[in-house]
Structure 1
Amino acid sequence: MSEPQHRVRARFTESTVTVYQAYRPELGLPAARDGRFPAAWKRDRMTWIKPSFLWMMYRCGWATKEGQETVLAVEISREGFDWALEHACLSHYVRGLHPDRASWQRELRRAPARVQWDPERDLRLRPLPYRSLQLGLAGEAARRYADEWLVSVTDVTATAHAVHALVRDGDLGGARALLPEERPYPVGGLAHLGVREG
């Protein structure tokens, strides 16, 4: 069965969903140790969360890019994740989806979250023909993410390195076995984000 162009895929339980972020070790290691973001984590900046492990690997270069050497699996409440999606605006204007460019710009300024759809990646980090969600959280959404929705923070940098090593060695089966299981996430009412399926 072919994948729809836009679909939220994630690792999730009945009550939580896992998203990924990469930080410099001075931020990432204390967050994983304490299970919450340290005081240095800025709640007044936009923070981007990614439910796709492989898209995170593409973004951080398998945890090798400067400032992104520590990869965190951040488990948050599904209630919070759903709230962010419901209150999000697309990060780009789409004719037919928005009444006009000015309306979209007003919505974007007001929205506490924004959605970007980027090509999903395969194990070699090549783009796939369908898109993966990136969710930007600002203002109220960023504060709620850090202070209300957070359930656990796990350092998964070693997993990133292990998967990368297997890919380099050509053992794609072994690499795939280490990936977190990501399934279609049940969402509804996200036509405003370009999602046509429930």
Structure 2
Amino acid sequence: MNEPQRAIRAAYADSTITVYQAYSPEIGVPAARDGRFPAVWKRDRMTWVKPSFLWMMYRCGWGTKAAQETVLAVEISRDGFEWALRHACLSHYVPELHPDRAAWQRQLKQAPTRVQWDPERNLRLQPLPYRSLQLGLSGEAARRYADEWTVSIRDVTPLAHEIHALVRAGDLDSAARLLPEERPYPVDEELLAHLRG
């Protein structure tokens, strides 16, 4: 099956989409317990969310990297997610999309969200030949994410460790069966046209 070069693949329901983040237990444990980010979570800093579970595993080393030991599945509203896409700027300059480098830099500075397309990963966390979305939220977007869009927060660290153990044991079939079911996210092409670089 041919995968599109850039696509949003995610676990989603009628009104929500799941994104992943990894934090220190100081943030992750109370966030999962209370279903909202604790006061120590900084709303004025950029935060990156990833719809791809395996890309998150690559980033946090299956929940073993320092300050990324707690892996969270954050269910947010699809309306919020699509607002973020609509107001996003690519994190890199693309001549076909931007009038010039200065215009892109102005747009990047003003946009509350950023998009990066990074190589998707397989169970061994090796890069695949197609890319998945990373979404950076700052300013208004970070505040909306924490205070309006978040529907639920689950600690999926045990799942990450279980899948990792199966991968280490060479049982990739069993590991694959435990992965969250991610499908192409249905989004209007116009919503992504400015983010295709």
Using the size of structure 2 for normalisation, the TM-score is 0.98
Q: Give the deviation of 1:94 after TM superposition.
A: 0.7
Q: What's 2:148 paired with?
A: 148
Amino acid corresponding to residue 55 of structure 1 in structure 2: W
Q: What's 2:165 paired with?
A: 165
Q: Give the deviation of 1:100 after TM superposition.
A: 0.8
Amino acid corresponding to residue 94 of structure 1 in structure 2: V
Length, aligned pairs only:
195
Q: Which runs of 4+ in 1 moved over 6 A?
A: none
* Alpha-carbon distance in 1 for matches of 2:96, 2:22: 35
Q: What's 2:193 paired with?
A: 191
Q: What's 1:50 paired with?
A: 50
* Alpha-carbon distance in 1 for matches of 2:184, 2:160: 22
Q: What's 1:124 paired with?
A: 124
Q: Give the deviation of 1:65 after TM superposition.
A: 0.2
Q: Give the deviation of 1:63 after TM superposition.
A: 0.3
Amino acid corresponding to residue 25 of structure 2 in structure 1: P
Give the secondary-structure state (helix, strand or coil) at the position aligned to 2:82.
Answer: helix
Q: What's 1:29 paired with?
A: 29
* Alpha-carbon distance in 2 for matches of 1:153, 1:13: 15
Q: 1:103-114 maps to which residues of 2 (within 5 A)?
A: 103-114=103-114
Q: 1:95-110 maps to which residues of 2 (within 5 A)?
A: 95-110=95-110
Q: What's 2:80 paired with?
A: 80
Amino-acid identity (%): 76
Give the secondary-structure state (helix, strand or coil) at the position aligned to 1:163.
Answer: helix
Q: Give the deviation of 1:97 after TM superposition.
A: 1.3
Amino acid corresponding to residue 82 of structure 1 in structure 2: E
Gaps of 5+ in 1: none
Give CA deviations for 1:59-91 in whole Å, capped at 9, x if unaligned: 000000000000000000000000000100000
* Alpha-carbon distance in 1 for matches of 2:113, 2:61: 25
Gaps of 5+ in 2: none
Give the secondary-structure state (helix, strand or coil) at the position aligned to 2:7.
Answer: coil
Give CA deviations for 1:90-131 in whole Å, capped at 9, x if unaligned: 000011111111110010001000000000000000000000
Give the secondary-structure state (helix, strand or coil) at the position aligned to 2:11.
Answer: strand
Amino acid corresponding to residue 38 of structure 1 in structure 2: P
Q: What's 2:89 paired with?
A: 89
Give the secondary-structure state (helix, strand or coil) at the position aligned to 1:22.
Answer: strand
Give the secondary-structure state (helix, strand or coil) at the position aligned to 1:98.
Answer: coil
* Alpha-carbon distance in 2 for matches of 1:21, 1:121: 16
**Aligned-pair Cα RMSD in Å:** 0.7
Amino acid corresponding to residue 129 of structure 1 in structure 2: P
